[in-house]
């Protein structure tokens, strides 16, 4: 008899464990803990019996994780700021269609950009813009002028005062880089990225590293997604955030993963984030995100001075093309890493040598042999190694978006990356040499 009771108890406990597992929604996200914890508390309170678990990975690592996890074992929800990441997952048939989850009160577009996927694979859950966050005390101490446009961070006065991260480590940095590339064109956009990076003091490991560094005075300024800057500002850090005219207001999306474990519970969470209660969570000062619901639906909830995404989208010079961004997603990441992330020290040295020569030569930097040498140095330091035509070549793009587990694909990419890395180093070293020769004149 005791053995029968023990068996019954064991079965009961097994059933309870299974029920608890069935009530767990696993969300893979790049968002910070302040945001995820706020949603966990609010959602679990309104949906007793369902538990939220967050798997925090940067967007690039999150895509890889979903791709590599077998159906039936995957997380339930993908939640991130980069719309091109959702395009990649959708093309790989890793997102489940769930058109019934859309909130009809959400507008179709922000500016000219669709908020929800037309096929119902993912939904805009918040709106995000890209800009510059800066520390007001740091700027005063170093006598720096507050930046308004990306070009302001390219000035010699900003050398060593900028913090950046890499598109391969941050989906939001990828969107920032792509916004600049689309706003200025491939060649001019890369010159901006290379010059801004030459002025930087570090490439952080995650997107959080830039706003954290600006908050604590490690950096004077840096490119960030708006909610990092706004949440710090509304939390009383000595910081400001500005949207340059070259910005993009695009959706941060949420989607149901194909082959997920707990689809029904996951749908309840997605529906919650798109509804009024979930949208109001975004307005918490520690989160400070832009809702997708119109402000007319959030009467009395919008804090004074809160940005209006419709107005920002109206004045922006960039009409973000998510298909273009998606097509060269891995090309941009790889080129950035080989010429900036892994060669930052040499890029900094080349940038400093050019500034030193310009300062020493003064008016003489604009003419004669010295001007020719400086022009060559700038070209070597700040021009992209891949031109626009090659970047747009479908075969070239396909190589970088291919399966890295394929030995031939991996070998070709490794070879190209090695060539870029070596060429970048040689170019930066030659730029230092030429700038030194110009200064000597």
CATH number, domain at 239?
Answer: 3.40.190.10
- The residue-averaged pLDDT of 286-303 equals 92
Let me know if residue 182 belongs to a domain. Answer: yes
Is residue 256 within 8 A of residue 270, CB to CB? The reply is: yes
The answer to whether position 316 is within a domain reads no
- For the segment 398-402, the average pLDDT, to the nearest whole number, is 87
Q: Across 81-85, 98-102, 305-309, which has the greatest mean pLDDT?
A: 98-102
pLDDT value for 22: 61
Work out the mean pLDDT of the chain and round it to a whole number: 91
Q: Where among 207, 231, 247 does a domain terminate? A: 247
**Does 400 fall in a domain?**
yes
Position 5 in a domain: no
Distance CA 206, CA 30 (A): 10
pLDDT tens-digit series, residues 333-348: 999 999 999 999 999 9
Q: Are residues 122 and 257 in the same domain?
A: yes
Same domain for 29 and 119, yes or no, is yes
* Domain final position from 247, 271, 295: 247
- Is there a single domain that holds both residue 223 and residue 288? no
Does residue 2 form part of some domain? no
Band of residue 243 on the pLDDT scale cut at 50, 70, 90? very high
Is 261 part of any domain? yes
The band of 366, judged by pLDDT with boundaries at 50, 70 and 90, is low
Nearest C-alpha neighbor of 386 from the set 200, 233, 187? 187
**66 falls in which pLDDT band (50, 70, 90)?**
very high
Question: Is 274 a residue whose pLDDT tops 70?
Answer: yes
Same-domain pairing of 174 and 237 = yes
More confident residue, 320 or 367: 320
pLDDT at 426 over 90: yes
Question: Is the CB of residue 420 less than 8 Å from the CB of residue 412?
Answer: no
Whether 241 has a pLDDT exceeding 90, the answer reads yes
Using CA of residue 284, residue 38, residue 203, residue 412, what is the dihedral sign? negative
pLDDT tier at 18, thresholds 50, 70, 90 = very low
Q: Does position 9 have pLDDT exceeding 80, yes or no?
A: no
Same domain for 140 and 240? yes
Mean pLDDT calculated for residue range 131-154: 98
Give residue 403's pLDDT: 75
For range 48-58, the mean pLDDT: 95
- The more confident residue out of 151 and 322 is 151
How deeply is 89 buried, as exposed, middle or buried, from its count of CB atoms within 10 A (0-12, 13-18, 19+)? buried
Tell whether 200 and 260 lie within a shared domain: no
Report in angstroms the alpha-carbon separations of 4 from 7, 16, 62, 88, 231. Answer: 5, 18, 46, 53, 58
pLDDT of residue 354: 97
- Kindly compute the dihedral angle of the four CA atoms of residues 278, 282, 287, 288, in this order, to the nearest 10 degrees: 180
Q: Please give the share of the chain, as a percent, with pLDDT higher than 90.
A: 79
The number of distinct structural domains making up the chain is 3
137 and 232 assigned to the same domain: yes
170 and 274, same domain (yes or no): no
Q: Are residues 121 and 178 in the same domain?
A: no
Is it the case that residue 83 has pLDDT exceeding 70? yes
pLDDT band for position 125 (cuts 50, 70, 90): very high
Q: Are residues 293 and 258 in the same domain?
A: yes
Q: pLDDT confidence of 365, banded at 50, 70, 90?
A: low
Band of residue 17 on the pLDDT scale cut at 50, 70, 90? very low
pLDDT band at 234 (very low <50, low <70, confident <90, very high): confident
Q: Are 136 and 241 contained in the same domain?
A: yes
Residues 279 and 339 in one domain: no
Domain assignment present for 99 = yes
DSSP letter string, 112-128:
TEESS-TTSS-EEEEEE
8 compared with 321, residue with greater pLDDT: 321
Indicate the pLDDT class of residue 361, thresholds 50, 70 and 90. Answer: confident
- Give the structural domain span for 165: 130-247
Quick one: average pLDDT of 206-221?
95
DSSP string, 360-372: HHGGGGGSHHHHH
Does residue 10 fall inside a structural domain? no
pLDDT, tens digit, 9 for 90 and up, residues 147-202 = 999 999 999 999 999 999 999 998 889 999 999 999 999 999 999 999 999 999 99
H/E stretch holding 389 = helix 388-391
Which among 197, 221, 247 is the end of a domain?
Answer: 247
């Amino acid at each position: 008899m005791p053995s029968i009771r023990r068996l019954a108890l064991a079965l009961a406990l097994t059933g309870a464990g299974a029920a608890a597992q069935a009530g767990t929604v696993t969300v893979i996200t790049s968002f910070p803990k302040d945001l995820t914890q706020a949603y966990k508390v609010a959602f679990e309170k309104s949906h007793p019996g369902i538990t939220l678990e967050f798997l925090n990975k940067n967007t690039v690592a999150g895509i890889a994780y979903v791709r590599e996890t077998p159906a039936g074992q995957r997380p339930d929800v993908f939640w991130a700021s980069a719309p091109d990441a959702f395009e990649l997952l959708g093309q790989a048939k890793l997102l489940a269609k769930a058109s019934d989850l859309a909130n009809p009160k959400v507008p179709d577009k922000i500016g000219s950009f669709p908020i929800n996927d037309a096929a119902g694979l993912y939904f805009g859950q918040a709106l995000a813009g890209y800009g510059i966050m800066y520390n007001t005390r740091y700027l005063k101490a170093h006598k720096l002028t507050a930046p308004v446009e990306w070009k302001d961070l390219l000035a010699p006065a900003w050398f060593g005062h900028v913090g950046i991260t890499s598109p391969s480590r941050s989906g939001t940095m990828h969107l920032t880089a792509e916004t600049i590339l689309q706003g200025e064109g491939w060649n001019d956009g890369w010159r901006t990225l290379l010059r801004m990076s030459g002025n930087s003091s570090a490439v952080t490991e995650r997107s959080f590293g830039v706003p954290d560094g600006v908050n604590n005075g490690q950096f004077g300024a840096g490119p960030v997604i708006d909610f990092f800057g706004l949440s710090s500002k509304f939390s009383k850090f000595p910081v400001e955030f500005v949207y340059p005219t070259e910005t993009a207001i695009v959706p941060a999306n949420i989607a149901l993963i194909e082959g997920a474990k707990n689809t029904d519970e996951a749908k309840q969470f997605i529906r919650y984030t798109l509804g009024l209660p979930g949208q109001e969570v975004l307005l918490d000062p520690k989160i400070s995100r832009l809702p997708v619901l119109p402000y007319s639906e959030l009467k009395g909830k919008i804090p004074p001075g809160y940005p209006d995404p419709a107005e920002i989208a109206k004045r922006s010079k960039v009409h973000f093309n998510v298909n273009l961004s998606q097509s060269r997603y891995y090309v941009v990441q790889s080129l950035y890493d080989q010429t900036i992330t892994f060669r930052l020290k040499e890029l900094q040295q080349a940038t400093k040598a050019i500034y030193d020569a310009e300062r020493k030569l003064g008016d003489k930097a604009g003419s004669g042999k010295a001007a020719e040498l400086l022009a060559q140095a700038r070209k070597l330091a700040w021009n992209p190694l891949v031109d626009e035509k090659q970047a747009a070549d479908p075969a070239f793009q396909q190589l970088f978006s291919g399966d890295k587990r394929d030995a031939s694909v991996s070998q070709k990419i490794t070879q190209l990356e090695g060539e870029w890395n070596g060429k970048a180093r040689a170019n930066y070293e030659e730029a230092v040499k030429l700038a030194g020769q110009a200064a000597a004149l």
